Amino acid sequence: MWPEMHHHHLTSEAPERLRPTQMSVGLIEVARKRGEWAALGRKQRREVLQEQVFPAVLGPGQRHHIIDHHHLGLALIEEGVERVWIALQDDLSWLEPEVFWRTMEFRAWAHPFDASGKRRDFRDMPRRLTELVDDPYRSLAGDVHKAGGYAKSTAPFAEFLWADFLRQRIGGRALRRQRPRAVREGVKLAKTAAARYLPGWAGADT
């Protein structure tokens, strides 16, 4: 639920000051993380905040750009958390913005695609986690994983690849009106040969 990470070069930062490296989140997943946080006692919350670390890259303007845990970061902002731990992966603050973002994408540390799965210019990247927009298919991808559709993958932005796969095959109306059915359909689709290129693919049902 709350992954533990251990890194060197730790520093603390206000979560509302963190810069995202993606353009959207699944707001259903954010709501779940808020629910998990709300269920914790005061002592448990302190322990979680001591163990939870956000990997980040220092970018232009000396801003921390997180490369993971966007959903959790947004949930903690909405829950009023004032400080979180940052694990600095690299200092690229000396690069010009265009070169910085090109380097981030080359290292698979940035995902410049909007909530419709369309590539955008890095100048369109949100400047705060609270500016991230909802991609319902990102939430669907998370639900399909939880339902056993595919295995967890460490590949960067793997869930967004699954979101795009599902976006092409499940209509928006069906997702809005019959979400449980859409999840079941997503699990079936995830176990077809058409999904074999995706990270975490568990094989086709026979």
23 located within any domain: yes
Same domain (yes/no): 184, 158: yes
Residue 6 has pLDDT above 50, yes or no: no
- pLDDT > 70 fraction of the chain, expressed in percent and rounded: 96
Same domain (yes/no): 119, 54: yes
Same domain (yes/no): 79, 157: no
* Per-residue tokens: 136: 């319902």
Question: Residue 2: its pLDDT value, please?
Answer: 41
Same domain (yes/no): 120, 141: no
The 10s digit of each residue's pLDDT in 187-206 is 999 999 999 999 999 887 75
Domain boundary among 83, 109, 134: 134
174 located within any domain: yes
Same domain (yes/no): 26, 100: yes
DSSP 76: H
Question: Residue 1: its pLDDT value, please?
Answer: 42
Same domain (yes/no): 128, 146: no
The 10s digit of each residue's pLDDT in 14-27 is 999 999 999 999 99
The 10s digit of each residue's pLDDT in 93-141 is 999 999 999 999 999 999 999 999 999 999 999 999 999 999 999 999 9
Its domain, for residue 15, covers: 10-134
Q: From CA 76, how far away is CA 54, in angstroms rounded?
A: 12
pLDDT category of residue 9 using cuts at 50, 70 and 90: confident
Residue 4 has pLDDT above 60, yes or no: no
Question: Residue 203: its pLDDT value, please?
Answer: 83
204 located within any domain: no
Q: What's the total number of domains in the chain?
A: 2
Q: From CA 181, how far away is CA 183, in angstroms rounded?
A: 5
The 10s digit of each residue's pLDDT in 11-66 is 999 999 999 999 999 999 999 999 999 999 999 999 999 999 999 999 999 999 99
Question: Residue 206: its pLDDT value, please?
Answer: 57
* Average pLDDT in the chain: 93
Q: From CA 21, how far away is CA 24, in angstroms rounded?
A: 9
For position 50, which CATH number holds?
A: 3.90.1530.10
Report the candidate in 81, 76, 75 with the shortest Cα–Cα distance to residue 29: 75
Same domain (yes/no): 31, 130: yes
